[in-house]
Amino acid sequence: MWYPSTVTEAPPVEPVTLEQAKQQCGILSAETYFDAKINFLIKAARSHAEEYCNARWAEQTIVSECDSFADFERLSEGPLKSVTSISYVDPAGETQTVDAAVYEAHKDGLEPSIGLKSGQVWPHILLGSRITLTAVYGGSVPESVAHAMLLFIADAFHRRENSRQEDWTVLDALLCNHRRGASW
């Protein structure tokens, strides 16, 4: 079982640029009055797309915990860029790090996993302890997801209020094919 993840290194770069967002909102690139608001909306749009799709679209480092190495058959986050470390508590109660020669990352799009290399075995863990995975996710954004983010930004910028939404929107249509199933 996976537990809620923690972002330890926020995205250094958003998947949608300020220039792209300003263009979508009809703001001239030299006009800077709304830049802070647009930057806020860029982060909100990414966050919404990530929550909607249960996927990370901007590169970020995340720490996740699970109960068993068997949970690595389906990681709680995706898409996977790289594994930083896997740590566990051994039967003696000491924190250990799994040697990278033991496992391999399977970066299968939105459904990544971590498996054993040939001839390797997972170490024994202390009963009741958690395994900690630190990994980098995101960085590859489908065009339809970027488009959905731009629509979100422009809509939020121009409306600036909460209004009744239709049951199914263009935003839903653009994001629905990139949705991961829940991992718990």
Distance CA 175, CA 166 (A): 16
Residue 45 contacts residue 98 (beta carbons within 8 Å): no
Average pLDDT over residues 20-39: 96
Kindly state the tokens that stand for 76.
């709680």
Is residue 163 over pLDDT 60? no
Average pLDDT over residues 73-98: 94
More confident residue, 131 or 109: 131
Long-range contacts of 115-118 (CB under 8 A, 24+ apart): 115/72, 115/73
* pLDDT band of 156, cuts 50, 70, 90: confident
Q: What is the pLDDT of residue 166?
A: 58
Residue 140 contacts residue 59 (beta carbons within 8 Å): no
- What stretch of H or E contains 84? strand 80-89
Q: Distance of CA 132 to CAs 32, 75, 88, 159, Å?
A: 43, 12, 6, 42
- Does the CA dihedral 58-181-144-18 come out positive or negative? negative
Q: Distance of CA 31 to CAs 10, 24, 26, 71, 157, Å?
A: 27, 14, 11, 49, 15
Q: What is the pLDDT of residue 167?
A: 58
Q: What is the pLDDT of residue 184?
A: 45
Distance CA 166, CA 94 (A): 54
Reported pTM: 0.81
Q: Which domains does the chain have, with CATH numbers?
A: 6-57+142-178 (1.10.3230.30), 60-137 (no CATH)
Kindly state the tokens that stand for 163.
């209004």
Q: What is the pLDDT of residue 182?
A: 60
| pLDDT (tens digit per residue) in 58-72 | 999 999 999 999 999
Is residue 128 over pLDDT 90? no
